[in-house]
Amino acid sequence: MKMSRSRAILVLAIVAVFAILSLAQQAPDPPVARRVEHKVVWHGEIVVDPYFWLREKTNPEVAKYLEAENAYTEAMTKDLKPFQETLYTEMLGRIKQTDLSVPVRRGKYYYYSRTEEGKQYPIYCRKAAASDGSLDAKAAELVMLDQNEMAKGLPFLSVGDASVSDDDNLLAYSTDTTGFRQYILHVKDLRTGEILPDTAERITTGEWAADNKTLFFTTEDKVTKRSDHFWRLTLGGKPELLYQEKDELYGIGVGRTKDKKYVVLGIQSTDTWEMRYLDAATPSGDFKVVLPREKGHKYDMVHRDGLLYIRTNKEAKNFRVVTAPVSDPRPVNWKEFVPHKPDVLLEDLEVFKDYAVAHEKSEGLNRFRVLSFKTGTWHEVSFPEAVYSAFGGGTPEFDTRMFRISYQSMITPSSVYDYDLETRERTLLKQEEVLGGYDAAQYATERLWATARDGVKVPISIVYKKGFNRDGQAPLWLLAYGSYGFGVPAFFSSDSLSLLDRGLAYAIAHIRGGDEMGEAWHDDGMLMKKKNTFTDFIDCAEYLIAQKWTSKDRLVIEGGSAGGLLMCAVTNMRPDLFKAVHSAVPFADVMNTMMDASLPLTVGEYLEWGNPNEKAAYDYMKSYSPYDNLEKKSYPAILVTTSFNDSQVMYWEPAKYVAKLRALKTDKNELLLKCKMEPAGHGGASGRYDRLKDAAFETAWMLKQVGITK
């Protein structure tokens, strides 16, 4: 039967309409944030920000916009649900859900946490030590805190600082139920289970005195969240304010020396530190200053046998340790204990009754050197792999010869050892169990060195499954941070096996801004040298491409917080270099945040990023601020994640970034914003299963961008 021309046209039109409707269902229109005129004048320059209104957290329109973004992300990723579930099942299947941490000896008890299958949170417990000091497996377990019970009816619960009194009877701890890092102090009598009426709000750190009834703690400012008040509380009484740090560049925290002799108040800015101490047996006394603050002088201290061991950067860029009598710790009385080494960062010094352990870092690798006070000799603790991370695993006891070490690499699961400081023998106490038949021999890890544009060698840690073909065709996942002197360790993640087993390589770029290569590595990635962080990352990416580890259309990148700023900055600079980007809680709106002294993490951050009230710093910071440098051009696929209650990087920074980028970008690549509207923090959800579900979603989205969907 022959169809008339008019009827054929009608049929085609109907087909076209259904096709358009079908496409519309598959790809809904993204939300468009309303533009509202907002102008400020900085250094004589008029700055227009049409999305400034998104800062109005209580404005219902803000929540409505964020919900629209979430709905759009949900619609655009609907097809990912099966893959996301597959990844979640894989990731969960590698975890021993009912598990026990390695018990830690503190006085008469061993403390540990355990998890139970199906429960989101850990349970914190203790058991009495046997008469010979060993763990008595038959001893009754005391559950100090069951976070699952505590979290009933709450969408979020974080347990913060915790400290047990010297007589083992009282537990001081803090909780946050919003994700805003707003912790409340609680004191629990471990003998009766009673929660005492003594409390305080906005607590940041806490420590007991030796009398078992006096608690020292610090609290934060309500607006800026800077830890600035120091209190003494005698149980049953009212808190007494001992000190207020008025300089907005500084934050404070309280602790205790390992020998329990002194309570210590630490006062720190980015480049200047001060310590104050008080005999823990006389809590009503006055704190003494170890050394008055001196611009640029960073120091801390520990105590042993009447001597302060002071780790100082005075005439020692990477720190040295000197000793001085407690009675007079002035430099005139200093004696060299651990000399400075230009190529070795002295990260910490732990002192015990008969030993000292120096925590050092060189060429991005941690190591320990051990001193016997009896013999006066040092020895180094060696490790079996070329690329690894090793940290002190927490040895609270002063009179011990066992030093706990936490060790892992990108192929060796997290392992806890006790190292005998006398015999040099190490005992493996526990290695993270990876269920499902994990075989480390199937994987390989290497340390690579990329040459930055200024000739500096930048380390890269990489892991892959053996048989990986370096032909430039394989996808690669590249992670970095590069700020605050925090060096990302070469860590093990059972989640990454979902990448490696699908043919990806996984790499960490140890770029400037961290401390992998010493204090100068941090200095060269901050303030007026911050752009080194971004160009290092780009140069590492180009190195990996040149060496045929991957290609531009197979390279996916990820970073969070300051690492999220990194993601946004390098995407502005080289959008052609990356296939997909996950920017988590990104510090993207640098200028608006750093020009607003009322916000958390602003004034105290001047020494890390610069003070934009100074014209030179303003110009430099504005030249890389991600939000201010978005342009009308093509960008890679981008996923941005955040939390409405994040107190470190406010939700509006990623929200504004997405709104502005969506209005400017000329490509058709996905740009998604996923904002947790329920209580959640800077690190996302508090429950372990919830966090894993988020990881599965993010992984599924990233893999989809390189054509992997199962």
Give the pLDDT of residue 455.
98
- DSSP assignment of 449-465 equals EEEPTTS-EEEEEEEEE
Q: Determine the Cα–Cα distance for residues 183 and 359; give it in Å rounded to an integer.
A: 31
Q: What residues contact 93, with CB distance under 8 A and at least 6 apart?
A: 435, 436
Q: What residues contact 435, with CB distance under 8 A and at least 6 apart?
A: 93, 94, 95, 96
Q: What is the 3-state secondary structure (H, E, C) of 73-103?
A: HHHHCHHHHHHHHHHHHHHHHCECCCEECCC
Q: Determine the Cα–Cα distance for residues 376 and 354; give it in Å rounded to an integer.
A: 10
Give the pLDDT of residue 138.
86
Q: Determine the Cα–Cα distance for residues 693 and 176; give it in Å rounded to an integer.
A: 22
Q: Determine the Cα–Cα distance for residues 687 and 5; give it in Å rounded to an integer.
A: 63
Residue whose entry in the numeric block shows the structure tokens 């998604």: 672
The torsion angles phi and psi of 647, rounded to 5 degrees, stand at: -100, -10
H/E element, 568: helix 562-573
Return the SS3 of 598: coil
Q: CB count, 10 Å around CB of 74? A: 13
C-beta separation of 130 from 136 below 8 A: yes
Give the pLDDT of residue 26.
61
- Compute and round to an integer the Cα radius of gyration of the chain: 27
Cα–Cα distance list, 225 to 183, 230, 435 (Å): 11, 14, 41
Residue whose entry in the numeric block shows the structure tokens 């394989």: 474
CA-based nearest residue to 293, from 275, 310, 308, 274: 274
C-beta separation of 407 from 383 below 8 A: yes
C-beta separation of 566 from 500 below 8 A: no
C-beta separation of 88 from 696 below 8 A: yes
Residues serving a catalytic function are 561, 646, 682
Cα–Cα distance list, 128 to 107, 166, 212 (Å): 9, 15, 19
Listed as ranges, residues in the chain with pLDDT below 70 are 1-26
- DSSP assignment of 322-358 equals EEEETT--SGGG-EEEE--BTTBEEEEEEE-SSEEEE
Q: Which amino acid, residue 87?
A: L
Give the pLDDT of residue 537.
98
Q: Determine the Cα–Cα distance for residues 674 and 584; give it in Å rounded to an integer.
A: 10
H/E element, 444: strand 443-451
DSSP state of 27: S
Give the pLDDT of residue 14.
39
Q: Determine the Cα–Cα distance for residues 336 and 318; give it in Å rounded to an integer.
A: 15
Q: Determine the Cα–Cα distance for residues 319 and 348; give it in Å rounded to an integer.
A: 9
Crossing angle of helices 652-664 and 60-76, in 10° steps, is: 60
The superfamily CATH assigns to domain 154-297 is: Prolyl oligopeptidase, N-terminal domain (2.130.10.120)
Q: Are strands 203-208 and 142-146 parallel, antiparallel or unpaired?
A: unpaired
The torsion angles phi and psi of 178, rounded to 5 degrees, stand at: -115, -25
Give the pLDDT of residue 682.
85
3.40.50.300, 3.40.50.80, 3.40.50.1820, 3.40.630.10: which CATH number matches 61-91+439-705?
A: 3.40.50.1820
C-beta separation of 509 from 542 below 8 A: no
H/E element, 564: helix 562-573
Q: Determine the Cα–Cα distance for residues 459 and 448; give it in Å rounded to an integer.
A: 6
Kindly provide the residue ranges of all beta strands, DSSP E only, lying in 107-247, ordered along the sequence.
Answer: 109-115, 123-128, 142-146, 158-164, 170-176, 184-189, 200-201, 203-208, 214-220, 227-234, 240-244
Q: Determine the Cα–Cα distance for residues 438 and 492; give it in Å rounded to an integer.
A: 13
